């Protein structure tokens, strides 16, 4: 039987990797992508997955109701998000609306239309916020302490999910996804930004130069986007309704080390210059997750190593 | 010096009681009230407090920015809310927008205009949600487990407040206000609804009749609205920035007992009929707060007894 997926935020790189995953797995699938922006992906070579795309603004309840009524998806992979923490400090209202409110609109449409749809609510490690080091690695039952507008929006999304599961009987599985990296990620995200700058340095004559960064001492848990989408597929099929799962590697790496690794890979010498404007208010210094729960639930552990991911991110920026 | 207050949700009964409190305390105050609806209060007898009122929709960022720019309040008492849990189950989007989003709009306007304004963010005991009995009475550090769209909206408001305090330096004091009762409260709230029905029964010939209710076994912590507004005034002046305070009596009373007390007061015999449609999904069975924190911080404890409040609520409905 053909699996019907609605993917919101279709024009982002996670969506493309998810479709690639379906195709590699030879899943007979029909994917309807929606986004406020056009996408630039090419699906011509796909054999198993077919596509439809429509420009839809999820802030419009009417629009999303129409799409859901027409398409009646079996699964919704909800990727649409203003997922930048930095941006959320600059435009908190737009960030909140385009995370929490759009999600609520989707839930409400599903409820009203009484559809038998399973939704993957993609959340963020940022929800944990600034936590005492004794809580590391972060487990799903670690208290949430969101410290940015973006993080609050994600916690709100999660709380709404729980109300819709318990109060209205909707079928939602939740993630707290940690930083993901991989080819095609935009350079507003930190590792892509570094890779792009490093490739630029490499291509300049002297193979050395200056890289602009925020606080490079912060530690994050990076997961390859291809592992992430595999987790999403597994959770959509086998996750437990109403449960939230960390999607993470379980390993912390400082931004400083990421830069050093990537500079090594392409053999450039780099001087890091800290741009104070890139520092954020109330930054979380260290985020490392525990992936035991998802591992037990759907037998998922990351398959890509950090070095593999970094190689491919650099490759991507080299060829672009 | 004249104290400048902006009161949102001005047309509700809490606002009137707050103004009465300022007047009784002989506070030289200028109050600007805003609401989407007209108010029906008469302030002609006031000597110390003067007023201005404007119809404003807080969903409009532009509107609220204009009002704040023009008025530059020293204090904002933020009462505007879709505060009905029942309604939030029926129209969750409107409930969320008219709690969380309007509040975010205010915070963002204050931030942009860089005003030196102290805001009282009024939250709700509903934020605690369905909790294990061992947590009773609820303290401010009890984990939040919101179980209705309304409760989620209030938790989101609180989380946003904390981000605006820590990340942007805004001056916000927070409450989790438990059920309040008193004259002038609308009959969409439970005690007013009971009082109105009982007065109707009393005025019918036979002094007995049927009262329609939801689940009357639920236990709530009721506070007189006049105690509540005194707490708000104290917190606006002496609460600690970024801190959240329970505003509650510390005593739990079942709805069944509320009905019995009121029936006694006016000597009617009442038969309670449960209307299943008034039951809510995932209802919190028991909510009792601890008021130690506010008591220590601003020397507040309730002055009205439950029986006093019930007498006056009945009086109000008798005379209306």
Residue of A nearest to B103 (CA): A93
- Angstrom distance (rounded) from CA A118 to CA A185: 26
B127 shares its domain with B257: no
pLDDT band at A248 (very low <50, low <70, confident <90, very high): very high
Instruction: Check residue B64 and give its pLDDT.
Output: 97
In this structure, are residues B216 and B227 in contact, taking their beta carbons and an 8 Å threshold? no
Look up the CATH number of the domain holding residue B269: 3.90.25.10
pLDDT band at A1 (very low <50, low <70, confident <90, very high): confident
- Which residue range(s) make up the domain with A108? 3-181+222-249
pLDDT band at A86 (very low <50, low <70, confident <90, very high): confident
- Strand ranges, E, within A41-170: 49-55, 75-78, 118-124
Instruction: Check residue A188 and give its pLDDT.
Output: 87
- Angstrom distance (rounded) from CA A29 to CA A21: 11
pLDDT band at B134 (very low <50, low <70, confident <90, very high): confident
Share of residues in chain A with pLDDT > 70 (%): 99
**A146, A160, A281: residue with CB nearest B152:** A160
Retrieve residue B137's tokens. Answer: 């009475």
- Angstrom distance (rounded) from CA B268 to CA B248: 29
Domain count along chain B? 2
B120 shares its domain with B242: yes
- Angstrom distance (rounded) from CA B23 to CA B248: 23
Instruction: Check residue B96 and give its pLDDT.
Output: 98
List the single best residue of A85, A141, A167 to mutate versus B (max B Cβ within 10 A).
A167
- Angstrom distance (rounded) from CA B128 to CA B275: 26
**Would you call B101 and A96 a contact, using CB atoms and an 8 Å cutoff?**
yes
Retrieve residue A75's tokens. Answer: 């699964």
CA dist A184 → A42, A176, A189, A245, B231 (Å): 13, 21, 11, 25, 54
Instruction: Check residue B126 and give its pLDDT.
Output: 94
**Would you call A282 and B159 a contact, using CB atoms and an 8 Å cutoff?**
no
Q: Could you tell me if residue A46 is inside a domain?
A: yes
**Would you call B167 and A93 a contact, using CB atoms and an 8 Å cutoff?**
no
- Angstrom distance (rounded) from CA B199 to CA B311: 12
Q: How far apart are the first and last CA of chain A?
A: 38
Return the closest-CA partner of residue A106 out of A59, A173, A167.
A59
pLDDT band at B40 (very low <50, low <70, confident <90, very high): very high
The mean per-residue pLDDT over the stretch A145-171 comes to 97
How buried is residue B181: exposed, middle or buried, by Cβ count under 10 Å (0-12/13-18/19+)? buried
B271 shares its domain with B155: no
C-alpha angle A159/A33/A234, rounded to 5°? 60
CA dist B94 → A299, B77, B178, B243 (Å): 40, 21, 22, 28
Q: How far is A167 from chain B (nearest CA, A)?
A: 5
B197 shares its domain with B120: no
Return the closest-CA partner of residue A103 out of A156, A37, A144.
A156
Instruction: Check residue A132 and give its pLDDT.
Output: 80
Q: Which residues of A touch B162 (CB under 8 A)?
A: 147
**Would you call B93 and A104 a contact, using CB atoms and an 8 Å cutoff?**
yes
DSSP β-ladder status, A3-8 and A29-35 = parallel
**B101, B146, B282: residue with CB nearest A159:** B146
Instruction: Check residue A319 and give its pLDDT.
Output: 94
Q: How far is A196 from chain B (nearest CA, A)?
A: 30
CA dist B172 → A142, B107, B180 (Å): 26, 9, 22
Instruction: Check residue B185 and give its pLDDT.
Output: 95
- Residue B248 scores a pLDDT above 90: yes
pLDDT band at A157 (very low <50, low <70, confident <90, very high): very high
Residue A275: HSE in the Cβ half-sphere, 13 Å Cα cutoff = 6
- Angstrom distance (rounded) from CA B242 to CA B73: 19
B80 shares its domain with B210: no
Rounded to the nearest angstrom, the gap between the alpha carbon of residue B71 and the centroid of all alpha carbons in its chain is 24
Each residue of B150-170: pLDDT tens digit?
999 999 999 999 999 999 999
pLDDT band at B312 (very low <50, low <70, confident <90, very high): very high
pLDDT band at B3 (very low <50, low <70, confident <90, very high): very high
- Angstrom distance (rounded) from CA B83 to CA B106: 18
Q: Could you tell me if residue A295 is inside a domain?
A: no
B161 shares its domain with B209: no
Q: How far is A300 from chain B (nearest CA, A)?
A: 29
Look up the CATH number of the domain holding residue A149: 3.40.50.720
Rounded to the nearest angstrom, the gap between the alpha carbon of residue A135 and the centroid of all alpha carbons in its chain is 23
Instruction: Check residue A206 and give its pLDDT.
Output: 80
Each residue of B53-87: pLDDT tens digit?
999 999 999 999 999 999 999 999 999 999 988 89
Q: Which residues of A touch B89 (CB under 8 A)?
A: 167
Length of chain B, in residues:
320
B154 shares its domain with B210: no
- Strand ranges, E, within A9-48: 29-35
- Residue A283 scores a pLDDT above 80: no
Q: What are phi and psi for residue B312, nearest 5 degrees?
A: -75, -30
- Angstrom distance (rounded) from CA B203 to CA B197: 10
Instruction: Check residue A9 and give its pLDDT.
Output: 97
Instruction: Check residue A30 and give its pLDDT.
Output: 98
- Residue A133 scores a pLDDT above 90: no
Instruction: Check residue A23 and give its pLDDT.
Output: 97
- Angstrom distance (rounded) from CA B272 to CA B1: 53
Instruction: Check residue B206 and give its pLDDT.
Output: 80
Q: Could you tell me if residue A288 is inside a domain?
A: no
Q: Could you tell me if residue A158 is inside a domain?
A: yes
In this structure, are residues B275 and B214 in contact, taking their beta carbons and an 8 Å threshold? yes
Burial per residue of B21-58, b for 16 or more beta-carbon CB atoms within 10 angstroms, e otherwise: bbbeeebebbbbbbbbeebebebeeeeebebebeebeb
Return the closest-CA partner of residue A5 out of A39, A54, A45, A52.
A52
**Would you call A93 and B104 a contact, using CB atoms and an 8 Å cutoff?**
yes
Instruction: Check residue A205 and give its pLDDT.
Output: 74
In this structure, are residues A246 and A297 in contact, taking their beta carbons and an 8 Å threshold? no
Q: Which helix (H) or strand (E) holds A155?
A: helix A149-168
- Residue B277 scores a pLDDT above 90: no
Give the bridge partners for A224, in sequence order.
A181
- Residue A282 scores a pLDDT above 80: no
Q: How far is B10 from chain A (nearest CA, A)?
A: 24
Q: What are phi and psi for residue B34, nearest 5 degrees?
A: -130, 150
**Would you call B108 and A97 a contact, using CB atoms and an 8 Å cutoff?**
no
Interface ipTM: 0.93
Rounded to the nearest 10 degrees, the angle between the axes of helix B102-113 and helix B149-168 is 10
Q: Could you tell me if residue A232 is inside a domain?
A: yes
- Angstrom distance (rounded) from CA A96 to CA A109: 19
The mean per-residue pLDDT over the stretch A66-94 comes to 96
B173 shares its domain with B264: no
Instruction: Check residue A279 and give its pLDDT.
Output: 74
Q: Which helix (H) or strand (E) holds A307?
A: helix A306-319
Please provide the average confidence, as pLDDT, over all residues in chain A. Answer: 95
B265 shares its domain with B177: no
Total-model pTM: 0.94
Instruction: Check residue A135 and give its pLDDT.
Output: 86
Each residue of A263-278: pLDDT tens digit?
999 999 999 999 888 7
- Residue A252 scores a pLDDT above 90: yes
Q: How far apart are the first and last CA of chain B?
A: 38
Instruction: Check residue B279 and give its pLDDT.
Output: 74
DSSP code per residue over chain B: -PEEEEEESTTSHHHHHHHHHHHHTT--EEEEEEESS------TT-SSEEEEEEE--TT-HHHHHHHHHHH--SEEEE------HHHHHHSHHHHHIIIIIHHHHHHHHHHHHT---EEEEEEEGGGGBS--GGGPSB-TTSPPB--SHHHHHHHHHHHHHHHHHHHH--EEEEEEE--EE-TT--TTSHHHHHHHHHHHHHHSTTSEEEEEES-TT-EE--EEHHHHHHHHHHHHHHSPTT-EEEE--S--EEHHHHHHHHHHHTT-EEEEEE-GGG--TT---B--B--HHHHHHH-----S-HHHHHHHHHHHHHH-
B174 shares its domain with B242: yes
- Angstrom distance (rounded) from CA B7 to CA B30: 11
Give the position of tokens 């029926």. B90
Retrieve residue A220's tokens. Answer: 């994050």
B120 shares its domain with B199: no
């Amino acid at each position: 039987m053909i699996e019907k997926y609605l993917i919101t935020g279709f024009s982002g790189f996670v969506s493309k990797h998810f479709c690639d995953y379906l195709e590699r797995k030879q899943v007979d699938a029909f994917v309807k992508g929606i986004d406020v922006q056009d996408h630039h992906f090419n699906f011509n070579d796909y054999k198993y997955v077919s596509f439809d795309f429509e420009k839809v603004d999820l802030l419009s309840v009417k629009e999303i109701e129409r799409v859901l009524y027409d398409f009646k998806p079996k699964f919704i992979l909800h990727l649409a998000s203003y997922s930048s923490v930095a941006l959320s400090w600059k435009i908190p209202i737009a960030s909140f609306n385009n995370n929490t409110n759009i999600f609520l609109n989707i839930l409400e449409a599903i409820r009203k239309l009484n559809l038998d749809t399973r939704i993957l609510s993609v959340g963020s490690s940022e929800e944990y916020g600034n936590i005492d080091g004794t809580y590391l690695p972060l487990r799903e039952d670690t208290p949430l302490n969101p410290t940015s507008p973006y993080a609050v929006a994600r916690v709100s999304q999660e709380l709404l999910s729980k109300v819709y599961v318990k109060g209205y009987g909707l079928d939602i599985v939740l993630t707290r996804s940690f930083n993901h990296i991989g080819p095609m990620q935009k350079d507003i995200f930190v590792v892509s930004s570094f890779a792009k700058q490093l490739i630029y340095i490499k291509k300049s004559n002297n193979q050395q130069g200056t890289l602009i960064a925020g606080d490079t001492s912060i530690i994050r848990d990076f997961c390859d986007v291809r592992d992430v989408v595999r987790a999403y597929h597994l959770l959509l099929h086998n996750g437990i309704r109403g449960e939230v799962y960390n999607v993470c590697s379980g390993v912390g790496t400082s931004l400083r080390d990421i830069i050093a690794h990537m500079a090594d890979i392409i053999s450039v010498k780099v001087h890091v210059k800290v741009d104070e404007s890139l520092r954020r208010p109330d930054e979380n210094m260290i985020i490392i997750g525990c992936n035991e729960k998802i591992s037990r639930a759907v037998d998922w552990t990351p398959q890509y190593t950090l070095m593999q991911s970094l190689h491919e991110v650099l490759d991507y920026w080299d060829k672009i």
